[in-house]
Amino acid sequence: MRAWPRPRKENDMNPRPHSRNDDDMLPEYDFSNAVRGKYYERYRQGTNVVLLDPDVAEVFPNATAVNDALRALVAVADAKASRRRAGTGRPNKALQPTSRSRRKGKKLAKSKAARG
């Protein structure tokens, strides 16, 4: 049994991971004036970054324009949803008789009349 680790081969099928301290911290990194948790609160609040397709981005000059358009869209959708909940707006056409059901009723009446 060997007391030292065997040297790694280039084509080793079970490569061992490099230790984390190999190249993580370079001498140029200076954290002497660092503040722990400086952006913690901002991170906790969260962010929602959205990438717009180029054709959509051409329409909006800046983030404010995108937000204004989305707020207007949300307001329209909310108004439409509240109208549906309140029962105002267009009637529910699914509850009204269709022309097909009217035709069935006429055919049924004719067939009963034919039977006598």
Tell me the per-residue pLDDT of 103-113, one tens digit each, with 9 for 90 and over: 665 555 555 55
103/75: higher pLDDT: 75
116/95: higher pLDDT: 95
Q: 45 pLDDT exceeds 70?
A: yes
What are the b/e assignments for 59-88, b being 16+ CB within 10 Å?
eeeeeeebeeeeeeeeeeeeeeeeeeeeee
**pLDDT (0 to 100) of residue 108:** 56
